[in-house]
Structure 1
Amino acid sequence: MDISAFIPPDIDANGQEEDQRADPSLGTAIVNTQILTIFNYKGNQVYVYGALSNENENKLTPQKWIFYFVPIMMPVQMADDPNGSWVISVRNEVRAKLMLSNTDVEVLALKAIEKKYAPDEFQYSKFWTVAPLMIDSIKAYVVKGGNSPVEGVYSNPITHPNGQEIIFRKDLIISTINSVPCFLLTNDPCEVLNLNIDDDALNVLKGKICFPLSDGSFIVKPGFKTGFICLRDLLSKKTEERLKQLRSTKTQSTTAAPMNNIPSSSPSSSPSLTPPRTTIASAPQIAASPSSDIVATPIMEHRRYFLNLLKSWCSNHKDDFLSDSFDLNEGKDFILNVLYDQNNDLKVNVKCNCNKSITLAMKDGKMQLSNYQKHLRSTNCSHIKAIKKMNGEQKKISLQQSKDASSSSTSVTLKA
């Protein structure tokens, strides 16, 4: 039998599951026998199977019967973790602890089995063996919301596990930002500093560019975060200028080449009824192509276009966010990435402060805000939830202060 267990996705920095996946899924099993019975454990159905020997060579000796149930694959808190998390990071490794079974599950399984037999048979239940199905192999992944494996984390295969609990150890692939294109394609270079990773080099870096918080976490100093945003803008501008130079050089060489192909005429040459054919590449035609128009638009102009669109959208949706001055700011509420790929196609990505990354669609060389708007309207964004909650509380305070001021004014009028 082969069981594939997936660690529940959307794990936060403390190794905890997010709300939408609070109940971990059971392991799945493939067996060649009929289900004997089913019982419930913490809202999940657990399937129980009887060994083939129960109906064959051991049919007349019930005290030898054996039963199996599907391993429950539920998280177990790490004993050495002060926060009681079931997923932790240790240096360059992610560790997760799952249990196949426990005493409560085995008792529930035995009670469910007893109901399937007559009294003269289940009187031997104290001799029965009730255990998790034997596993040939199991592999765990850290996955995203779409159930695709997270880049940079190896899967962890385990063969023939024989304990009630399993600790998966998944090595992290450490990579550095060692080029300008790599930096421009990185959504947030500071993101790794928010992770709870026990790494000496990372801890030294945190001590230099982060403020420690009372709960043990870190926050990147605003100056460094703004510096990364400015560096991204400058590198994007320099990259765009370099692309323009390359395109200009290519265009000049293309238009200059046909001049050598114009045939020379001499008095001795006889006239021809068919004029010589000369192929000339026209520079204006290249400049007029749609793709060149898109590429010619500076990245900074695309950024301004996005920010103006977003500002207008925020202004039109103040009521939805319970604030008369609702606005979203780059670096605080989101990170905007605008760049051209190797094919000179514009790529725009917005990373919300909730860590969700949204790719914007393009139409006629202009970015469309619809995907980001959909995210802002959704109920899954923790950052927008926090903004609405804060705005709602401020509105209640303002309303109460207004009522108190009105009551005070009425009281003074009556006394007069």
Structure 2
Amino acid sequence: MNRRFDTVVIGGGIVGASAAYYLAKAGYTVVLVEKGRISAEQSRRGLGIIGTQRRDPLEMPLMLDSVEIWRGLENELGDTVGWKEEGQVSLFSNERGRRRSEAFLAVAKQFGLTTQLLEPNEVVGLLPYAQPQGRLGALYTPADGSADQELATTAFARAAARHGAVIWENTAARSIDVWGEVVCGIDTERGRLGCQNIVVAAGCWTSLLLKPFGIAHPSFWVRGSVGRYPVVPYETKLAVSCDEYAYLQEADGRLTLAAVAAPVHDLMLHSRLKLLRLHQLKQNKIKLELGKPMVRSLMGEFNDFTTHRTLDPAPDVTGLKRAAAAFQAEHPVIGSIQYQRSWAGYMDYTPDGLPIIEAVAEPRGLFVAAGFGRHGFGIAPAVGRSISDLITKGAIDRDLTPFSSRRFTL
């Protein structure tokens, strides 16, 4: 098979699906290739919080664009995405947390956000079912929201298909083809696809795709863990986070709880310790583990796109237990209950926590949207639209310079 499209999008997460949608809507012929299933990896394994809180100011313009898109997305796509604009609360327990929160208020004011700094008594008023222990206050943003990660990603993919995009699941992109200094196609499991533009939105697999061109995608894998509680005896519509955990309540009353205190990097052959050290100097929060992933990488399991259709790492049981203990201590009304199930996902992190969104200088026609860490879901619609504008218009009205990979080499 040898078919030709204007653009090939590699990666079926929400960034790739939204890029495919906006490109197809603009009249471009598009094929999205995904080695596994749409929304099977990073885009469905978190909580789905869509928030402006504590975002880097450089990300804020894109994030605000995304919030506006989310507000009208169900009408635009004609599909359900589970959007809820119920607000977000971020608790803090020490003076460092207060300083960070106060510093963000200046950012919030700069961008016209409705974020407030709450005192402990105000926190209790907002979370009456909780008994916060040692909390000094919280940031509260009424306009933040959440959405269902799987519903939203598949809705983008379906909408792209309605506009004529071709969606190929269980089809790995094996390599990118270049003629001279310009991309000309990709080799897939179904055959070669010719194209003028390629969007690499492949999450953790981005580095492997770009390596043949001498492009060192500056990222490393981080494993985040999530568990689901049964129905709890109270209702909250807020997204709540702190240093130990973050949670959202599902429509059916169950609670989804993420362990946020110490995400894990599994040491493997492709671990980039220099990048890890840079990140740890800035964040000081990532835990290193040596175990089965190293053995699997020694066997070459992560060198081929078809070996793992879906990355499905084991959850961090210790981290989830600590998160549950901290949550239960502050929510005694629920008593002692166990997770119904738990899961984990690998996230594509950069050392400074900002994504890479760019048109690659060489080969021309290659675009990258990756390195989103745990914050990619909320910002994804604006990123997908920006990538589409870069391809269809040659420019966008937002400055993407802060997201260039060149920031790590200058």
Do Structure 1 and Structure 2 share a fold, with TM-score over 0.5? Answer: no
TM-score with structure 1 setting the length: 0.21
Higher share in strand: 2
Using structure 2 for the length normalisation, give the TM-score: 0.22
Q: Using CA pairs under 8 Å that are at least 6 residues apart, name the structure with larger relative contact order, 1 or 2.
A: 2
Q: Which has the larger radius of gyration?
A: 1
